[in-house]
Structure 1
């Protein structure tokens, strides 16, 4: 039985740019990083060092060669923020593409795009 989500794998064109985006623009931390050579890098990032779920930006081109049958599309991720308005304004001030705040039945939500124009959503934590 599955009891938690451990890692989310994002397939990106440039791992270093992805790391820079998530750490410098969104405020995540690098949990671990290792360059194994030949284009193989392991970068693990998360909202906090204590987070149970981490994001691993993988080299899309390398994964496509290793496993051509894999769907390398970006998953639809929903993040939660206890400081929703501050995060929204911080992203705007860092020139991140940010959508308008929308009031839904489940709460206030906005989306934002990374450097590769993949979109993610943020909901105000209750």
Structure 2
């Protein structure tokens, strides 16, 4: 039986830039950095150290070189936020590209992109 979701693997072209985006721009923390092979490493980030789920960032070059048969496309991630308007304003003030806030049957959402133009969504949770 599956008990939950541990982490999401995110494969990027520029790992250093991606880690900076998640930590400096979005305020995530680095939970772990593990050297895997030569100069390649994985970097685990999350909203806080005690977050149940994290994002593990890998360099696509390593994944290709290692011959792992995985999909290198960006996963579709939906985050949640209690104060969607404040988060939206904060990301816009930091120059992060954000879509409009839209109303859906499940609540208000907007999307944002990282420096590699991967898009992610945020849903308001009250």
**Superposition TM-score, scaled by structure 2 size:** 0.94
Task: Provide the aligned C-alpha RMSD in A.
Answer: 1.3
What is the match of residue 22 of structure 2?
22
- Give the deviation of 1:14 after TM superposition: 1.2
- Give the deviation of 1:68 after TM superposition: 5.2
Q: How does 1:21-40 map to 2 (within 5 A)?
A: 21-35=21-35, 38-40=38-40
What is the match of residue 104 of structure 2?
104
> Structure 1's 68 and 32: CA in aligned 2 closer, same or farther, altered over 3 A?
closer
Gaps of 5+ in 1: none
8 Å CA contact 1:46–1:54 kept in 2: the answer is yes
CA-to-aligned-CA distance 1:52-88 (integer Å, 9 cap, x gap):
1110010111101212532100000000001211111
**Superposition TM-score, scaled by structure 1 size:** 0.94
What is the match of residue 86 of structure 1?
86
Tell me which stretches of 4 or more aligned residues in structure 1 moved more than 6 Å. Answer: none
Query: What secondary structure, in the 3-state scheme, does the structure 2 residue paired with 1:116 have?
Result: coil
Q: Quote the Cα distance in structure 2 between the aligned partners of 1:46 and 1:69.
A: 25
CA-to-aligned-CA distance 1:15-35 (integer Å, 9 cap, x gap):
111110001111111111244
What is the match of residue 52 of structure 1?
52
Matched, 1:113 2:113: yes
- Give the deviation of 1:38 after TM superposition: 2.1
Q: Quote the Cα distance in structure 1 between the aligned partners of 2:121 and 2:37.
A: 33
- Give the deviation of 1:37 after TM superposition: 5.9
Q: Quote the Cα distance in structure 1 between the aligned partners of 2:8 and 2:34.
A: 18
Gaps of 5+ in 2: none
What is the match of residue 43 of structure 1?
43
